[in-house]
Amino acid sequence: KQLLELKELEDAPMTLRYENVKLPDFVQSITNEFRAYAQQKKINIVEHVSDEAITLDTMMIKRIMDNLLSNAIKFSPLNRKVEITATTTDTHVVFEVRDEGPGFQQQDIPKVFGRFQKLSARPTGGESSHGLGLAIVHLIVKTLGGHIELKTLFGMGATFIVTLPLIRKP
């Protein structure tokens, strides 16, 4: 499924569909989809969200956040926390997903957004990983004119920071 999704994103120009959303409601709708999965691993999802209404391509942002949140839970050990932050500046909206998993080894960092990259970290609950999710995220972020950054220390978790231009509709 992810391979087809990546191929579709590469081959067809993305049709962007912007809509006005309340940022807390939007983030909560995404995290609610992952609560049962997180509870299986006793992972607490914590949201830090600015109380703002903004304009987003909700489908594309949801695809980004689904991949990042799924990975954060997948690679986190039992009884940990995953934090989702969503804030705005005058010109950007910033989403962060932070986990308390193993983080990334230095040799893995240049490969993080590549296709079929199976890195040194392994899922902690027997989940599968195909090495395509972060390639999809990277492609969508680029298409939306944004930037994605990874902050990590091996053994100390990882934080993915997605910065996207803030759309202002009259």
**Packing angle, helices 23-40 and 58-74, rounded to 10:** 30
Tens-digit pLDDT profile for residues 32-74: 999 999 999 999 999 999 999 999 999 999 999 999 999 999 8
CA atoms of 70 and 34, how far apart (whole Å): 7
Q: Give every residue of the chain whose pLDDT is below 50, as ranges.
A: 123
- For residue 157, count CB atoms less than 10 angstroms from its CB and return exposed for 0-12, middle for 13-18, buried for 19 or more: buried
Tokens of 119: 């890195």
> What single letter denotes the amino acid at residue 22?
K
- C-alpha distances (whole Å) from 98 to each of 21, 42, 91, 136, 141 are 23, 16, 23, 19, 18
Residue 135: per-residue pLDDT: 86
pTM: 0.86
Residue 123: per-residue pLDDT: 46
Residue 100: per-residue pLDDT: 94
Residue 112: per-residue pLDDT: 84
Classify residue 156 by its DSSP letter.
S
Residue 120: per-residue pLDDT: 58
Nearby residues of 8 by Cβ (< 8 Å), 6 or more positions away: none
